[in-house]
A and B are shown apart, each in its own frame.
Chain A
Amino acid sequence: MTTATPTVGAGVQATGTPGRAARVRKRLNSRTATLVSIVIALLWTIPTFGLFISSFRPEDQIKTTGWWTFFSDPQFTLENYQEVLFSTGSSGQLASYFINSLAITIPSVLFPLAFASLAAYALAWINFKGRDWVYIAIFALQIVPLQMALVPLLKFFSTGVTVAGVQILPAWDLVDEQKFAQVWFAHTCFALPFAVFLLHNFISQLPGDLMEAARVDGATHPKIFRTIVLPLITPALAAFGIFQFLWVWNDLLVALIFAGGGDETAPLTVRLAELAGTRGNEWQRLTAGAFVSIVVPLIVFLSLQRFFVRGLLAGSVKG
């Protein structure tokens, strides 16, 4: 994911006109508004901050005193992280689940990204019969809750497809880490309608003259797609990439069903939910564990926030 920003498609992000608007706003700039908004923002952050502080406090401290006492009696340890990441057995081993999260997330982002950009290009720039109907159908699939697909899809993986007693497709019969493939498959399916919609929004806005000129020069569709369209829609690809990354990394439901609960495949979220259930009072593990799962999306989010916001606005407001 590159951070170079050609601004094609960036017209989606609504910005105020500078100059007069800025001056008007400046005149209105009131100190109360600044103060109140900052206080609220800090209040909003306190729960996360408390968790963060607690994750560095020794076990007996966490369990007996509030995290706010840290400031009067600071005691610092990394033991919680050491334990929750690397201890084996039922108490932690999060490092293993962290790897699972990575192994699940990377292909689950790449596949829909590639498939959707191909589809979006075809729907925007190739003339064929029934194009509008295909687009509307894919668009409409956005409203189908993924709950509608869970039971049959799991069955599809575990028993294959039989029509009238004849086995058409065999069961996947995956074991251990091979189950990643199921999760990739499921995430790809569930992401595609929104991905096609979002990327189509961007791709269809590219200048038609550009395509026309390339066609006249004898470029084929794959050539145009690779050399003209892909470089121009990098911001859109980044926007969807971040979207999908956060969604997959943070997902619990799909992983719970298709990855199973073992340390061979289950991602961090599944493990954390399990810890919260079975060891709900082991705050030294829960706080550190929660932070381990939060830190990656937080970094991605903070460093690529503008793409994310742009994607959000394109996906919701433009609708």
Chain B
Amino acid sequence: MEFDFAAEQPKFLMLMYGLIAFVGVVGGLLLLLDVVPAWFARRREERLVAAVASGTPLPRRRKPREGVIALFFLLPTLLFLLVGLVVPAIRTTLLSFMDKDSSSWVGLANYSWLFSEDSIVRVLINSLIWVLLVPLAATAFGLIYAVLVDKARFEAVAKSLIFLPMAISFVGAAIIWKFVYAYRGDGDQIGLLNQIVVSLGGEPKQWLLESPLNTFLLIVIMVWIQAGFAMVVLSAAIKAIPADIVEAARLDGVSPWQMFWQITMPSIRPALIVVVVTLSIATLKVFDIVRTATNGNYDTNVIATEMYNQAFRYQENGHGSALAVFLFVLVIPIVIYQIRNLRQQREG
């Protein structure tokens, strides 16, 4: 039970280097930006003085070089994006047409593998279930709760409790729920779910081993985390509905049901779409929950976990890249839908 703090020292040193680098880069950049324009200003001044002294007509005052300054402001961002995102994404696309160690071109072989291998088809089906269920369930719950809590007391506290899982890591959430699903063959159950089943007279089960039920149980975890996000955004949208409209409707004697469908729903439609789109994209990329809870075993694998396995466990760069590209392709229609909606809103 000894913990050696001295062994941790290199980490703090490294952290310090990181912070020094941060101060150096950012401070240096700002300093440079102060010095460069000052230098240009001085040069212009000198030219003016020279022009006056020699009696030639004054040179036309040139526009200050905004472009150069902007370039420096943008430089770190553009550099990092280029090296860390743009070039790698292009390379991944290329790698998806190459073999496992990226030495020769194989055409569409990786993509036909994607749709012919049984285990991968299973992965795609699972991802489809995820992306259909999570946004639907989380948004529905978030909406109902937002409407409910809008009239309630202790609103802030109740909302915080629902929202809290957002702060918990997917790994932590997976462990929390693995504990809920825990199973013991003999004696008392330690998992809440099995305890409930037993007290209702049922038989305890190894929930996470039973396909296809286990995929749905993992989806519950994601919904548990994301419902808070949906609730917060939708709640804000509901509160933004002008009070006059609500009051006018009330004077007309509409029922709460009519109020919800004819006033609330149309007013918050943009927020609703944003929530569904955001959740769909997040769900497509889900990785941590599946990896922590089942490691993709027992038919629970999804695209992101399989991508990790192929690329980093089996060193199958071609397969991994094809999965990554496929993930990207799946995101595009969702985004296009979102953009079209935004444009309609602006015009309408």
Binding site for B on A (CB under 8 A): 13-17, 20-21, 24-25, 28-30, 33-34, 36-38, 40-42, 44-48, 50-51, 54, 62-69, 82-83, 85-88, 93, 95-96, 99-100, 102-103, 106-107, 110-111, 114-116, 118-119, 121-123, 126-129, 131, 134, 138, 141, 143-153, 156, 176-178, 180-181, 184-186, 188-190, 192-193, 196, 220-223, 225-226, 246, 249-253, 256-257, 264, 269, 272-273, 276-277, 280, 283, 286-287, 289-290, 293-294, 297-298, 300-302, 305, 309, 312-313, 316-317, 319
Q: Is B187 on the interface with A (CB-CB < 8 A)?
A: yes
Can you name 17 extra interface pairs (CB under 8 A) apart from A51-B179, A220-B38, A256-B312?
A20-B247, A30-B151, A38-B158, A47-B192, A47-B224, A65-B190, A118-B76, A145-B331, A147-B328, A180-B14, A192-B77, A250-B170, A256-B308, A273-B171, A290-B175, A313-B232, A316-B278
| Given A33-B151, A148-B92, A250-B169: A16 in contact with B243 (beta carbons within 8 A) | yes
Is there contact, CB below 8 Å, between A37 and B292?
no
SS class of chain A's interface: helix, strand, loop or mixed?
helix
Query: Looking at the complex, which one of A24, A44, A305 makes contact with B250 (CB distance below 8 Å)?
Result: A24
Can you sample 29 A-B contacts with CB below 8 Å?
Answer: A25-B151, A37-B158, A40-B162, A48-B164, A50-B176, A66-B195, A67-B190, A82-B1, A96-B3, A99-B8, A103-B15, A103-B18, A145-B285, A145-B324, A147-B304, A148-B93, A152-B87, A156-B83, A180-B18, A185-B84, A186-B84, A189-B81, A189-B84, A250-B169, A256-B308, A276-B175, A276-B178, A301-B166, A316-B278
| Given A44-B224, A319-B342: A141 in contact with B85 (beta carbons within 8 A) | yes
Number of A-B contacts (CB under 8 A): 395
Is there contact, CB below 8 Å, between A184 and B1?
no
**In the complex, chain A residues whose CB is within 8 Å of the CB of B190:** 62-67, 283
Residue of A nearest to B312 (CB): A257
Query: Looking at the complex, which one of B29, B92, B233, B307 makes contact with A152 (CB distance below 8 Å)?
Result: B92
| A312 to B142 Cα, complex, angstroms | 15
**In the complex, chain A residues whose CB is within 8 Å of the CB of B158:** 37-38, 40-41
Query: Looking at the complex, which one of B76, B83, B172, B236 makes contact with A313 (CB distance below 8 Å)?
Result: B236
Is there contact, CB below 8 Å, between B311 and A145?
no
Give per-residue flags for B1-42: 1 if the beta carbon is below 8 A from chain A beta carbons, else 0.
Answer: 111100110111111001101100110011001100110000
Q: Which 9 pairs show the lowest CB-CB distances between chains A and B?
A: A189-B84, A250-B169, A122-B73, A21-B243, A301-B167, A152-B88, A14-B240, A149-B88, A119-B77
| A186 to B83 Cα, complex, angstroms | 10
Interface size class of B (residues with CB under 8 A): 35 or more
Q: Is B150 on the interface with A (CB-CB < 8 A)?
A: yes
Is there contact, CB below 8 Å, between A128 and B70?
yes
**In the complex, chain A residues whose CB is within 8 Å of the CB of B311:** 150-151
Residue of A nearest to B236 (CB): A14
Is there contact, CB below 8 Å, between B145 and A188?
no
Q: Is B321 on the interface with A (CB-CB < 8 A)?
A: yes
**In the complex, chain A residues whose CB is within 8 Å of the CB of B26:** 114, 118
Is there contact, CB below 8 Å, between B174 and A221?
no
